[in-house]
Amino acid sequence: MPRVKVARKSTALDMTAMCDVAFLLLTFFILSAKPRVEDPVTVDIPGSVKEVPLPEEGVAVITVGQKKTFFSVEGTEIRKQTLQQMGEKYGIQFTPQEADKFSVLPVFGVPIQSLKQFLALDADQRSKYKQPGIPRDSVSDQLFNWIRESRIAAKALRNLELRVSIKGDAKEEYPTIKEVIAILQRQEVNKFSLITTLRGASK
């Protein structure tokens, strides 16, 4: 009796479709990924248990480290508008090229008087340049005005209430933080966020 032979099938699968999907997803993730912003000073973020993810839009971050403060705000248009308003306030005219450069600058910490020179540097020089931080004193009031102008810009352009958050170094002494909080309170920002990392509750 002839045995029924089971046809031997090839185990190789057609991978084309899978490959397509994989690369499609890969492209999506690469394009949607935000490049990591390098902090101008080392900031070791303290941990906490209660966590709320920070929204993607409408966030202004004040980085505090080594007694210096740095400022950054999301959105290229908001940045441009903020720069323009700041220029008017301090009587400094920024060229469109400088505004373009500023709009892609993720974080900065220079007094507005030396912002022009800072923008003239290329990316490599800029990362080497030791940023002195934005002055917090009440005479020039620059940090106060940066926050204020960016809030105005965000409100005007996108009708967005800017969420101010503080990204502080864990080892930073409290007076610096106190100054920043006082600056926020002076413009009636009584609700703000502290950026933290996730930590287990047991510690």
Binding residues for another protein (CB under 8 A): 9-16, 18-19, 22-23, 25-26, 29-30, 32-34, 36, 46-54, 61, 64, 165, 167-178, 181, 184-186, 188, 190-199, 201-203
- Residue 21 vs 121, nearer CB to another protein: 21
What tokens appear for 79 in the block? 């940045």
CB of 86 to another protein, least distance (A): 25
81 alpha carbon, distance to own chain's centre: 17
What are the Cα distances from residue 17, in Å, to 5, 22, 24, 56? 31, 9, 11, 33
DSSP strand pairing (163-168 vs 59-65): parallel
- Residue 135 vs 168, nearer CB to another protein: 168
147: closest CA among 119, 110, 187, 115?
187
- Cα four-point dihedral sign 147, 149, 154, 159: positive
CB of 91 to another protein, least distance (A): 30
- Residue 70 vs 94, nearer CB to another protein: 70
- Residue 2 vs 175, nearer CB to another protein: 175
CB of 174 to another protein, least distance (A): 5
- Residue 124 vs 174, nearer CB to another protein: 174
Question: For the chain, what is the radius of gyration of the CA atoms?
Answer: 24
User: Residue 185: what are its φ and ψ, rounded to 5°?
Assistant: -70, -30
3-state secondary structure at position 133:
coil
CB of 175 to another protein, least distance (A): 5
What pairs with residue 73 in β-bridges? 60
CB of 40 to another protein, least distance (A): 16
CB of 105 to another protein, least distance (A): 18
11 alpha carbon, distance to own chain's centre: 50
- Residue 82 vs 176, nearer CB to another protein: 176
